[in-house]
Structure 1
């Protein structure tokens, strides 16, 4: 297999800042023209994924362990987890992609996730037949809801996804010896950084503040982040700010000036320059375009 690479555009639709809604739902077959049913080793920064495989047998690589997955299967992959798949042609299945900021928010009110949410998980086999059957039904419901564009879409998607995680959790309770090895120290540090960002954005955007929270120097934190994600801590923070800005513009009627101050910008004009520099359009133009796209 090829060397592991950080992926932002081949197997997902952009990085975390590109995911404006709660989640993105795709059938495996939808992007088969890109990967020809073979997904090379890669990982994502700022995005977690839940794979729901319905039919066939999938050969996979998860972290450093080769897996033979006999469907139906649930596969949970936290951010920064290396993975690769060889799919049988025309297999049925879905991949659900969710920003880690939303996963952290869900985990705050669902403490039962804590033991496994940061570690890759696989659920398969006859003992989990009922749980997996329910998971397939939920995946189909998520796919149908994902195609809608009304005001309750995100709320319904979040509720369905939480039910799906609940199914996975119940299966994992029944399953013994399912813990995968935790990644190396660099990966663990970046995961801790992401958790801090989820908890403290937008109250602080200071690299030094986050380094202090993690008991490391800003230089060390940025060096590790760059090695793991290809981005500096400052760039990761900017991505998170951009994601929040896009969501507020797309899904609220807050004035641009109020969004600017909510995100701790010193002035609306500074916010507009930041947004336009990253998106090649003003916040107002983005809001108008996103509203037209949902009609």
Structure 2
């Protein structure tokens, strides 16, 4: 769940258990998030680009960025959900960074540990101290980016990045894939070819996964009636929403809500 005014630090395992839906399905958040992987292997999709991840890897994901991830081999790590506050100086673009030196690894782990400790203790000046730790994480990311510049996106990557953003913010509008493609000034066929080549999924599947993620979050975190959620997400009827939701999750909306509330 989103941090309100303070960040949240949790283990990778805890984060995976508490997610609204599957981590390997396309999702996006309205706040920044940092993954710090210390053990295990996996892969992550960010802005419709698939990358491998391993030990001592940091992945920073800004708000409204489409992503998914799969972890293998008993992964360990931390996840830092951050407030959306431009004054903190966090990167504006997604970044995947390998901590190649012991010093880099120690600095990242130490900053996250210090942030977690500060959050666990109610002391005077907690908010200022927490935000100072977050700003230092931003400094760590900036320094790592200086040492490991990210590749400049090509034409196809720029289209995929824009698709990632418009789906992240416009998934509630009930738009068709054709309408999203028109916004990007490409054809649905071309857009699907790009996503299929980049992440092995058609563009329509990424859009559907993002909509279902939003539905799961609404069912888990609110008491809004199912029909209201269906309408908000652009479904023509509650029955159509229920069929689509059950097809993707294996549960009806009401059964999903009940299982998450009792977990």
**Residue matched to 2:137:** 168
The normalised TM-score by structure 1 is: 0.58
8 Å contact kept, 1:135–1:167: no
Tell me how far apart the structure 1 counterparts of residues 67 and 250 of structure 2 sit (CA, whole Å).
28
**Residue matched to 2:112:** 135
* 1:161-218 alpha-carbon deviations (Å, 9 max, x no partner): x887643322344564542223544344322211111221211431122112222221
* 1:33-89 alpha-carbon deviations (Å, 9 max, x no partner): xxxx5x36x4335799xxxxxxxxxxxx979xxx9x9xxx6622557799999x9xx
Alignment coverage as a number of residue pairs: 224
1:16 and 2:17 aligned: no
Summarize the Cα distance change of 1:163–1:46 in structure 2 as closer, same or farther, 3 Å threshold. Answer: farther
Tell me how far apart the structure 1 counterparts of residues 71 and 258 of structure 2 sit (CA, whole Å).
38
**Aligned-partner SS, 1:120:** strand
* 1:83-106 alpha-carbon deviations (Å, 9 max, x no partner): 999x9xx9x9614388xxxx9xx6
Tell me how far apart the structure 2 counterparts of residues 200 and 80 of structure 1 sit (CA, whole Å).
15
* 1:93-127 alpha-carbon deviations (Å, 9 max, x no partner): 614388xxxx9xx66x5374454x32333566759
Structure 1 spans left out of the alignment, 5+ residues = 1-11, 30-36, 49-60, 145-159
Tell me which of 248, 264, 277 is aligned to 2:218: 248
Deviation of 1:258 (Å): 0.8
Tell me how far apart the structure 2 counterparts of residues 185 and 127 of structure 1 sit (CA, whole Å).
33
Tell me which of 111, 116, 120 is aligned to 2:96: 120
Deviation of 1:247 (Å): 0.7
Q: How does 1:1-295 map to 2 (within 5 A)?
A: 14-16=23-25, 28=38, 37=40, 39=41, 42-44=43-45, 75-76=58-59, 94-96=77-79, 109-110=85-86, 112-115=89-92, 117-122=93-98, 133-138=110-115, 166-173=135-142, 176-293=146-263
**Aligned-partner SS, 1:266:** coil
Tell me how far apart the structure 2 counterparts of residues 84 and 280 of structure 1 sit (CA, whole Å).
22
Summarize the Cα distance change of 1:74–1:44 in structure 2 as closer, same or farther, 3 Å threshold. Answer: closer
Tell me how far apart the structure 1 counterparts of residues 254 and 70 of structure 2 sit (CA, whole Å).
38
RMSD: 4.6
Question: Relative contact order: is structure 1 or structure 2 higher (C-alpha 8 Å, sep ≥ 6)?
Answer: 2
Summarize the Cα distance change of 1:170–1:282 in structure 2 as closer, same or farther, 3 Å threshold. Answer: same
Summarize the Cα distance change of 1:45–1:171 in structure 2 as closer, same or farther, 3 Å threshold. Answer: closer
